[in-house]
Amino acid sequence: MGGDGGSIPGRRDLVKEPGKVVTAEDVTYGASKDWKWTHCSISNNKLEMPIVCDYFGNLFNKEVVLTHWYHKTLTSEFKHIEKFKYDVIAINKDTLKWNTEHNTFECPITSIVANHKNHNFYLIRKCGCVMSQKALSMLCGGGGEDAWMANLQKCIICGRDIENKTENPLWIIPLNPSGSEKARLSELWNQHKDKIRAIIKQEKQPIKRANKNSSHNDDNEDKNENDSKEKEKNDANDNSNQSKKSEKQNKSKLKQQLKAELLRQKLEINKSAFGKRKFPETIDRAIENKKKKSKVFASLFTDNQDNNTTTYHFSGGGSGGL
């Protein structure tokens, strides 16, 4: 119909478009084409921080890939991960902008969400920052479609210097690349993996040295603090011992003084009792009692009331008095 002036047909009415090609991915995951952007490539669980990436652009949950690497259960697709600290890259969680609605990340500059439509995302190896190609072209473009790659000297997010691009051709990694791009990355990795590992090892040495120095300084500070505490403890013990010793000496000195005073008082008593050559009162009472009981004993004594003295007679003759 048409052509008679009654209607104006559009292109879709005149051209029959070819049917949509169904891929294996569509059959496996159905409508979810963003699976590899939202799920771990090994466990198929949702991506969760911390996230790591290999040099082929595959995304993993760090705990999952570390567990499989440790138990040597990685499939043949990921056998290239031989040394965990060199063969995977940690995505910088401080600069990564996470989109909770889509359970994936987005470009922190353009806010483009990472999915199968906007699949041009890159990871800079040295700093771990993730950004979209559109942001790179906007800030470092000029001179061609891929001019940003030659013009990029610093990370456009964190400002860290880019490493030597000739020494490490894998200084930037495309995330979830196409099959042909992944084959190119695999070839570069097999050629330069020893050099890349050496570069990473050299980068980690200053960090280890700094951590070691920091640890050594902390140990010295702890040692000095412990020595100071030990010295204070010893000084306190010495002071306590000295105080106890001084107290003991004072007690001993006081005891000696008390003994001397008692001895002095005893001597005074003895002196007052015998100094005038008089019998003590107890002896006088004993003599009086004896005189009362025995006349013979009483006859030995003659009392002089005037002089208040007592005269006693010796059996052999003679007499004496007190």
31/173 same-domain check: yes
Confidence of residue 179 (pLDDT cuts 50, 70, 90): confident
- Do 295 and 282 touch, CB atoms closer than 8 A? no
**Domain C-terminal end among 130, 159, 177:** 177
Contacts 24+ apart (CB under 8 A), 30-37: 33/115, 33/116, 34/102, 34/104, 34/115, 34/116, 36/176, 37/104, 37/114, 37/115, 37/116, 37/119, 37/176
What integer pLDDT is reported at residue 279 of this predicted model?
Answer: 47
171/285 same-domain check: no
What share of the chain has pLDDT > 70, as a percent?
63
The yes-or-no verdict on residue 314 having pLDDT over 50 is no
Does a structural domain hold residue 184?
A: no
> Two tokens at 106?
């987005």
- Do 22 and 30 touch, CB atoms closer than 8 A? no
Tens digits of residue pLDDT in 82-128: 888 888 999 988 888 888 888 888 898 888 888 887 778 999 988 88
Domain range for 303: 279-312
Mean pLDDT in residue range 155-183:
87
172/299 same-domain check: no
- Residue 182 CB neighbours (<10 A): 15
162/298 same-domain check: no
Query: By C-alpha distance, which of 14, 13, 31 is closest to 22?
Result: 31
The yes-or-no verdict on residue 290 having pLDDT over 90 is no
User: Average per-residue pLDDT in the chain?
Assistant: 75
What integer pLDDT is reported at residue 277 of this predicted model?
Answer: 45
Q: Which helix (H) or strand (E) holds 191?
A: helix 179-274
What share of the chain has pLDDT > 90, as a percent?
10
Select the more confidently predicted residue: 95 or 207.
95
Select the more confidently predicted residue: 148 or 294.
148
The yes-or-no verdict on residue 218 having pLDDT over 80 is no
Q: Considering only 8-12, 30-34, 233-237, 258-262, which range has the smallest mean pLDDT?
A: 30-34
Question: With 0-12 CB in 10 A as exposed, 13-18 as middle and 19+ as buried, what is 156?
Answer: middle
Q: Which amino acid is residue 238, in one-letter code?
A: D
Does a structural domain hold residue 127?
A: yes
Does a structural domain hold residue 146?
A: yes
Q: Cα separation of 154 and 136, whole Å?
A: 11
Confidence of residue 319 (pLDDT cuts 50, 70, 90): very low
What CA dihedral angle connects 32, 34, 35 and 39, to 10 degrees? -140
As for how many domains the chain has, the answer is 2
What integer pLDDT is reported at residue 64 of this predicted model?
Answer: 92
Q: How far is CA 152 from CA 140, 160, 272, in A?
A: 6, 11, 119
Q: Cα separation of 53 and 60, whole Å?
A: 6
Does a structural domain hold residue 19?
A: no
What integer pLDDT is reported at residue 129 of this predicted model?
Answer: 92
- Do 258 and 250 touch, CB atoms closer than 8 A? no
**Domain C-terminal end among 177, 201, 225:** 177
Does a structural domain hold residue 105?
A: yes
CATH number for 36: 3.30.40
The yes-or-no verdict on residue 31 having pLDDT over 50 is no
Select the more confidently predicted residue: 117 or 284.
117
Does a structural domain hold residue 47?
A: yes
Does a structural domain hold residue 31?
A: yes
Its pTM surpasses 0.95: no
44/161 same-domain check: yes
Does a structural domain hold residue 36?
A: yes
**Domain C-terminal end among 156, 177, 198:** 177
> Two tokens at 322?
């007190």
The yes-or-no verdict on residue 256 having pLDDT over 80 is no
